[in-house]
Amino acid sequence: MTLENWTLVEVADAIRARRVTSREVVETCLARIDAWQPRINACATVLADSARAAADRADAAVAAGVPLGPLHGVPLAHKDMFFRASRRSSLGSHNAPPTSGAGESSLLGRLDAAGAIEIGTLNMCEFALGPTGHNAWLGDCRNPWHTEHIACGSSSGGGAAIAARLAYGGFGSDTGGSVRLPASACGVLGLKPTNGRVTLAGMMPLSPSVDVPGIFARSARDVARLLGIVAGRDARDPRSSGLPVPDYEASVERGVAGLRIGVPQNFFLEGVAGDVALRLEESLQALAALGAEIVPVTVPEPEHLTELSRVLVYSEAAAIHGAWLREHAEDYSPQVRMRAATGLAIPAAAYLQAQQLRSGILRRFVDAVFSTCDVLHLPTLGIPVPTLAETDVGGSAAMWDKIAVL
């Protein structure tokens, strides 16, 4: 395979073994960006000069025989909402609220320490408030498989960039599907880790009690390596988990034999399109052939989880955006203005009640489901990927009907 089609782990291991240089890898990605950015608009910024300089330093370190990190010399790109002092983060907006005091991203710091190179920042829905990838200020991100279709959102650039081979991996944010949806629509791997597993310090908040940094990559091993690097306690984020970080990469070798795969008998498969249902069945057959056990599962209270999430997300988003929204409403596009303002109409008592109910509903869900199976088998997107035109509904009421609200 040509270099742009290698996985992250293959590239990292090849740089370490001196089979390829970091500069060659970076130039490969920059050439892909030159070719694809005009078509898909996946990047918010391209950091060509700094990436080339970092690649030269990485190659000098290899030649000097110094210890190398697990991502040494590998170019990554991330949603434009992880802060650095050396550059401005657009947050998907043309006039973002001040972010002074947020500090640098701890997640980016851990990737830097592992030797990764930031080759650019990625397009996103304005303030991460939208599921389709439309952006009135930065321009819409398009699906590289068919540019008239959406890449999904809000981490739209992540799915599109990794699918188009503009970088070997990267991070977005996932509050209600914003990594998983673009990954599904663009045909790459996306992971939303457990809440608290990865630090939020230095990342733009949308709904702080629900936000999770998520991973885009090309293979399960790539995802495992990235998660192993960024997971773990961060003193700057009191909500981050202090649990030990397992060797995720080693677990990739275990396979699926004996794994109990739960197939929900309610809620999640309602309204799934025929082609999607067929692909789901084919994947179950493949997993069963590899030794997995297929188990029917009845999922408790799924509709309550959906409503609970909406109350939490929109209330917390309104708390973050309320003052700026009142003073600078014109700086929000119509759809994002409506989404940000939704939480202003949610009573404080409803938000507090949702927080009180949260742990009990989640515990009942976990106990009922995962006493029966190890994982749930679900469609990430239950319909064919829509077009940009079909989902371009501005701030009208139709925005609530087109695609699941994130």
CB 210 within 8 A of CB 175: yes
Catalytic residue among 154, 156, 207, 241: 154
Segment holding 191, helix H or strand E: strand 189-191
pTM score of the predicted model? 0.95
Tens-digit pLDDT profile for residues 295-339: 999 999 888 888 899 999 999 999 999 988 888 899 999 989 999
Flag whether pLDDT at 100 surpasses 70.
no
Query: Has 402 been annotated as catalytic?
Result: no
pLDDT value of residue 98: 57
CB 79 within 8 A of CB 172: yes
Retrieve residue 336's tokens.
């994002």
Give the sheet arrangement for strand 117-122, strand by strand.
43-46, 117-122, 75-79
CB 40 within 8 A of CB 164: yes
Catalytic residue among 89, 105, 156, 178: 178
pLDDT value of residue 406: 35
Number of Cβ within a 10 Å radius of residue 75 = 29
pLDDT value of residue 369: 96
Query: Has 154 been annotated as catalytic?
Result: yes
Partners of 225 in the β-ladder: none
Flag whether pLDDT at 396 surpasses 80.
no
pLDDT value of residue 99: 54
Quickly state the pLDDT bin for 402 (edges 50, 70, 90): very low
- Residue 213: what residue type? P
More confident residue, 402 or 360: 360
Tens-digit pLDDT profile for residues 127-182: 999 999 999 999 999 999 999 999 999 999 999 999 999 999 999 999 999 999 99
Cis peptide preceding 89, ω within 30 of 0: no
